[in-house]
């Protein structure tokens, strides 16, 4: 071996030893968790639900850094550009990691290649809700009603391209029905018109509907996910109610920048799994109408890929142009 080759080998060995030692010492300082949405929203509440228990499990403080903007893309890109050392993490979410890639022309990051998935954290199941005037008591009856009157029923959302809008478009595709989409400036306005009968149906997070479901002003037809919701245990899933395969839910997870070491990812996955099993976290999640839903990194990666493909097809079928 010549002198140049020998020196190169020494550099590689030294770098590898230093990298391994750094990973083994991780974490030895506070960790930043970027939440790509504003404080007080559902994403922020989910992050804070696991923050204390995960901090305890890792032995280091986790500082939540709210970076709202561009539907979550601003915060996601911040993490995509961060050093892959495990000290900057992302609260991954449906919008910036699965929907935005098909809605934004110049997204500055790749939803798959720019991140190293750690684990899914939770799923907030959406439900299919009609106003009390709609003559359908089950999902099957609603589908029949929509097929009998193509284009006469309408559904509301907080805006074009929102997850609620896409949940309705996915329903139209899978149930093979025609309905008119009515976009609003925000969720409360859409809910108000659902209550007063101007809107027939909504597809959205179940939490906002619960008070009016209890009074009978609204009627839930099904949970739009593969599993029943713990807060509405008697409400059937869409599959049980006659529309198998319809799965629309809001999910959150934990990701790191791409090229983060496997050792660090494995440690974070293990510690997050421990945190998600604690009664305190389960209780907080239940209060937020969310289901704890931990995964392995590989499972989370496959899930994100499938979500990207699903919403790409829905956005294309709905004719929504990237902006």
321: left (phi over 0), alpha (psi -120 to 50) or beta: beta
Overall size of the chain counted in residues = 323
Q: Domains of the chain, with CATH numbers?
A: 29-124+249-318 (3.40.190.150), 125-223 (3.40.190.10)
Helix segments in the chain, DSSP class H? 3-25, 42-58, 73-80, 94, 100-103, 139-148, 163-175, 187-195, 210-215, 262-277, 279-287, 297-318
Distance of alpha carbon 55 from alpha carbon 64, whole angstroms: 11
Distance of alpha carbon 155 from alpha carbon 201, whole angstroms: 5
Our CA angle for 98, 223, 167, nearest 5°, is 35
One digit per residue, the tens of pLDDT, for the chain of length 323 reads 555 554 444 444 444 444 454 567 999 999 999 999 999 999 999 999 999 999 999 999 999 999 999 989 999 999 999 999 999 999 999 999 999 999 998 899 999 999 999 999 999 989 999 999 999 999 999 999 999 999 999 999 999 999 999 999 999 999 999 999 999 999 999 999 999 999 999 999 998 999 999 999 999 999 998 889 988 999 999 999 999 999 999 999 999 999 999 999 999 999 999 999 999 999 999 999 999 999 999 999 999 999 999 999 999 999 998 88
């Amino acid at each position: 071996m010549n002198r140049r080759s020998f020196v190169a080998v020494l550099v590689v060995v030294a770098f590898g030893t230093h990298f391994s030692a750094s990973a083994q010492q991780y974490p030895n300082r506070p960790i930043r968790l970027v939440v790509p949405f504003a404080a007080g929203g559902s994403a922020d509440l989910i992050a804070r639900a696991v923050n204390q228990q995960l901090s305890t499990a890792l032995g280091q403080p986790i500082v939540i850094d709210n970076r709202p903007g561009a539907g979550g893309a601003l915060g996601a890109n911040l993490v995509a550009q961060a050093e892959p050392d495990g000290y900057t993490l992302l609260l991954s979410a449906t919008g910036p990691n699965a929907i935005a890639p098909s809605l934004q022309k110049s997204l500055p990051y790749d939803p798959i290649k720019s991140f190293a998935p750690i684990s899914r954290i939770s799923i907030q199941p959406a439900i299919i809700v009609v106003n009390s005037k709609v003559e359908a008591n089950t999902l099957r009856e609603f589908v029949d009603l929509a097929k009998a009157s193509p284009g006469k029923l309408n559904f509301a959302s907080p805006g074009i391209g929102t997850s609620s809008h896409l949940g309705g478009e996915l329903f139209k595709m899978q149930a093979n029905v025609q309905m008119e989409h009515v976009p609003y400036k925000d969720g409360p306005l859409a809910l108000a018109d659902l209550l007063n009968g101007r809107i027939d149906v909504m597809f959205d997070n179940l939490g906002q509907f619960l008070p009016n479901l209890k009074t009978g002003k609204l009627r839930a037809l099904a949970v739009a996910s593969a599993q029943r919701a713990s807060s509405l245990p008697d409400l059937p899933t869409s599959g049980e109610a006659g529309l198998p395969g319809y799965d629309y839910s809001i999910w959150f997870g934990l990701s790191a920048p791409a090229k983060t070491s496997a050792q660090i990812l494995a440690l974070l996955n293990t510690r997050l799994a421990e945190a998600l099993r604690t009664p305190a976290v389960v209780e907080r999640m239940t209060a937020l109408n969310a289901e704890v839903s931990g995964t392995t990194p590989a499972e989370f990666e496959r899930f994100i890929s499938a979500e990207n493909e699903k919403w790409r097809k829905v956005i294309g079928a709905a004719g929504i142009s990237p902006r």
